[in-house]
Amino acid sequence: MRVLVPGAAGMLGSDVVAVAAARGHDVVALSRSELDVTDDAAVDAAVAAAAADVIINCAAYTDVDGAEADEVSAFAVNAHGAGNLARAASRSGTRLVHVSTDYVFDGTATQPYVESDRTDPRSAYGRTKLGGEHAVLATSTAHAVVRSAWLFGPNGRNFVATMLGLARDGRSEVAVVTDQVGCPTYTAHLAERLLDIASSGRGGIFHAAGSGQCSWNEFAQAIFAAADVAVAVTETTSETLGRPAPRPAWSVLGSERSDVVLPPWQDGLTAYLSRNGGSAA
C-alpha cells in the first residue's frame, strides 16, 4: 500500500511514517514546510503526484489555547485544510483517514463517548476540528475520521515529556488537575490502528484511544512512578489554572467498533519510557 502522510514531521505523523515503513508500505512523508494543507492548489498537486492508495492526515493546528485567540488560523488548517485533502483525495480515487479529537464533545458525559454520540464542542479548537470532520465526511463515505485523545509520543511536546522535564529540573512537587478525566494515548499505538483502518477500506467515524481512563493528576503520578523519580503530585482544578480555552472535564472515548481498541494507556507509557531510556534522567 502506498501511503501519503501530511504532517509527517509532527508527533503523531512521525510515528505513522515509522509504523507504515515497518509494515512494508511505500510512504510519501510531507512535513508542514513541504505541504501547506490550506493551499488548495498545493494539496491537489501533492495528492496527484503521490498517487497514493490512502492519505493519513496528521496535519493539524494543535495549540488549544492559541486557537481560542485565533480561531481563523486554526479553522484554516483543521477544517479548510482537511476539506482540501478530502476533495483532492476523492478526485484522485484515494481514501482519506483523518485524525480528530475528543474536543468535539462537551465533556459533560459520565460514560465513554462512542462514535454515534452527539457532538457539542466548547472550545475554538474543538469547533475547528469538528469542521474538519464535517468537511471530510461530506466529501465521501469512503473517507474515515478517527477521534483520539491525550496524545503522547517521543517526537513532540506532550504531557509525559513535560512531567519528566520538571523532574529533571529538580522539582519536588507539581500541582496537576483532578477534574479532567480521559484516555492517554501513545502515538505508536494510534499509528498502528490508523494503518489498520487505512488498510480495511472502511469509512465513517472511529474512536481510537488508550484503553482505560485516568485524570491528569493520576497520569502524572503514574509517570513519576514508572520513571522511578520522587516528585509529589498535589491536587488542583481547571478553574485554578485559568487556561484560556475550556478543557472537557470528561474525555473518555469508547467505541461501538470492537476492532479499533488500543492497548491500555499504561502499556503506552511503558513503551514511551522504553524508547526514551526508561527514566527522567
Give pLDDT tens digits for 207-231. Answer: 999 999 999 999 999 999 999 999 9
Enter the C-alpha cell of residue 244: 484560556
The answer, yes or no, to whether residue 279 has pLDDT greater than 80, is no
Half-sphere exposure of 169 (CA within 13 A, CB side): 9
- Distances, alpha carbon 232 to alpha carbons 133, 173, 217, 279, in Å: 40, 4, 11, 16
Per domain, the residue ranges of the chain are 2-158+183-212+252-264
| pLDDT digits 0-9 by tens, 94-107 | 999 999 999 999 99
**Please, which pLDDT band fits residue 259 given cuts at 50, 70 and 90?**
confident
- Distances, alpha carbon 119 to alpha carbons 82, 113, 115, 213, in Å: 18, 10, 10, 20
Q: How far apart are CA 138 and CA 12, in angstroms?
A: 25
Q: Which residues contact 166 (CB under 8 A, 6 or more apart)?
A: 174, 231
C-alpha 69 chain-centroid distance: 21
Looking at the chain, the whole-number percentage of residues with pLDDT higher than 90 is 95
Rounded to a whole number of angstroms, the distance between the first and last alpha carbons of the chain is 40
Residues identified as active-site:
125
When pLDDT is averaged across residues 239-248 and rounded to a whole number, the result is: 93
Map residue 106 onto helix, strand or coil: coil
**Please, which pLDDT band fits residue 278 given cuts at 50, 70 and 90?**
low
Specify whether the CB–CB gap between 102 and 209 falls below 8 A: yes
CATH, domain range 2-158+183-212+252-264: 3.40.50.720
Closest to 176 measured CA to CA, from 216, 227, 224 = 216
Average pLDDT over the chain, rounded to an integer: 96
What pLDDT sits at residue 18?
A: 98
Map residue 9 onto helix, strand or coil: coil
DSSP letter at 104 equals: G
| pLDDT digits 0-9 by tens, 20-79 | 999 999 999 999 999 999 999 999 999 999 999 999 999 999 999 999 999 999 999 999
The answer, yes or no, to whether residue 281 has pLDDT greater than 50, is no
What φ, ψ does residue 54 adopt, rounded to 5°?
-150, 150
| pLDDT digits 0-9 by tens, 160-169 | 999 999 999 9
Q: How far apart are CA 163 and CA 4, in angstroms?
A: 33
147 or 281, higher pLDDT: 147
Name the amino acid, one letter, at 271.
Answer: A
When pLDDT is averaged across residues 146-167 and rounded to a whole number, the result is: 96
Name the amino acid, one letter, at 182.
Answer: G
DSSP state letters, 18-81: HHHHHTT-EEEEE-TTT--TT-HHHHHHHHHHHT-SEEEE------HHHHHH-HHHHHIIIIII
**Please, which pLDDT band fits residue 260 given cuts at 50, 70 and 90?**
confident
When pLDDT is averaged across residues 142-155 and rounded to a whole number, the result is: 97
CA dihedral 263, 100, 16, 72 (to 10 degrees): -150
What pLDDT sits at residue 276?
A: 77
